[in-house]
A = this chain, B = another copy of it.
Amino acid sequence: MTLGILGGGQLGRMSALAAIRMGIDVRFLTPPASGGGTPGPVAPFANVTLADWTDPAVLKAWASGCDAITVESEWAPAQECADAAPDVPVRPHPKTLRLIRHKGRQNDALRDAGLPLPRYANCATPEAAHEAARAFGLPVVAKKYEGSYDGYGNATCRTPEELEQAWADLASGDGMLVEAFVPFEGEVSALVARREGGETAVYPIIASEHREHQLWAAHVPAGLAPEAEARAREVAGDAIAAVGGVGLLAVEMFWMRDGSVLVNEIAPRPHNTGHLTIEACGGSQFENHVRAALDLPLADPSLRVPAACMVNVVGTREGPLAPDYAAALAVSDAAVHLYGKADSRPRRKLGHVTATGETPEAAREVAERAVAALGL
């Protein structure tokens, strides 16, 4: 079997490692400019096509012989691929990606399915945004409809003037999203693998910790009470069903003081918080990404260890990468993952370290020690 992956980053790299283990071939299509440096994360693999991935002829030739196609991000040309090679299924479906890509439409689909969300309004005009702010009460969170990540594209507005500025910065032709500010206890995520036909595997809820709007660490168990954990998993599964999600998708949620959750947003791909599933769960998010994309039975997502913590390895300076392997690997019990990026820059995700242990805190201490030892 052969899985085609539109993309060439670390998510593709880790998916390929899972696929190859199972004897499944992987091929990549990625535009020459992507990846930011040579060798990129998919450089170790034989079957990488660097070409214009919006060109129907390129897509058709590349997709030929694949059993299915998947994407590394919601921005990959999934629809173009489906149009160019209609016989090869693209999972998640292009229509799911289109829906998720636009935060307003994504929210509408989730609300229509009865899922818990922060209060929000799709605002086509500045007046509508101010009206929403009056209705929800300040502060509110203004969000770009498309293309935001790691905090870019979002703005917390405490005054009407800040909301005015957010409109200038974030609104596109159809406006922007305004959400009520949610006084959450924490942010959590749930990975959901879902097949055509509805077979679903929901992973344990993962707690995430951010630094400067970028994911810094993630751990399991998330610390929710058993009923809250069960309810959060149920919400996540329902959210993915609501957008017709097939493949491995992530649901980011706010965890409220009363134990309830509100859906923040969906990512239609393996998720940074889910990297710890490689060491912590029966089958990793990457294994289930490959299985679900190929419509194969899903691996058991359940936790196999008491606790685990993943800490990102994030660039702090410009320049070539020179990890101190000897120091990092001397941290016993730490699983070091580096993505093969040749160059570092501030905030660039270069790798991650996962540790397992009796508690998330104990695991985190080990993982952080290895991250620091890498000296990046």
The answer to whether B44 and A25 have CB atoms under 8 Å apart is yes
B39, B47, B337: the one within 8 Å of A21 (CB): B337
Partner of A17, one of B20, B282, B338: B20
Determine the residue in chain B with the shortest Cβ distance to A25: B44
Candidates B23, B47, B48; contact of A337 at CB < 8 Å? B23
CB distance from A304 to the nearest CB of B (A): 7
A168: chain B residues at CB < 8 Å are none
Judge if A246 is at the interface, Cβ distance under 8 Å.
no
When the two chains form their complex, are residues A23 and B297 in contact, meaning their CB atoms are under 8 A apart? no
Q: Smallest CB–CB gap between A5 and chain B, Å?
A: 13
Oligomer: number of copies: 2
Given contacts A325-B1, A340-B23, contact A332 B300 (CB under 8 A): yes
Q: Residue A296 at the B interface, CB < 8 A?
A: yes
A47 nearest CB across to chain B (Å): 7
A194 CB–B CB distance under 8 Å:
no
Contact across chains for A336 and B22 when beta carbons are under 8 A apart: yes
Question: A16 in the interface, Cβ–Cβ < 8 Å?
Answer: yes
What residues of B have a CB within 8 angstroms of the CB of A304 in the complex? 305, 356
Report if A17-B23 is in contact (Cβ < 8 Å); known contacts: A296-B329, A329-B296, A329-B297: no
Residue in B299, B335, B337 whose beta carbon sits within 8 Å of that of A332 in the complex: B299
Q: B residues within 8 A CB of A335? A: 21, 283
Q: How many Å lie between the Cα of A282 and that of B21 in the bound state?
A: 18
Known A22-B329, A26-B44, A291-B329; further 6 A-B contacts with Cβ < 8 A: A24-B325, A43-B46, A44-B46, A45-B45, A46-B46, A297-B330
- A to B CB contacts below 8 Å, 22 in the list: A17-B20, A17-B21, A20-B44, A21-B335, A21-B336, A22-B329, A22-B338, A23-B338, A23-B339, A23-B340, A25-B39, A25-B340, A44-B45, A44-B47, A45-B45, A291-B329, A294-B325, A296-B326, A297-B326, A297-B329, A300-B332, A300-B333
Counting from the closest, the 5 A-B pairs by CB-CB distance are A23-B338, A297-B330, A297-B329, A20-B44, A300-B332
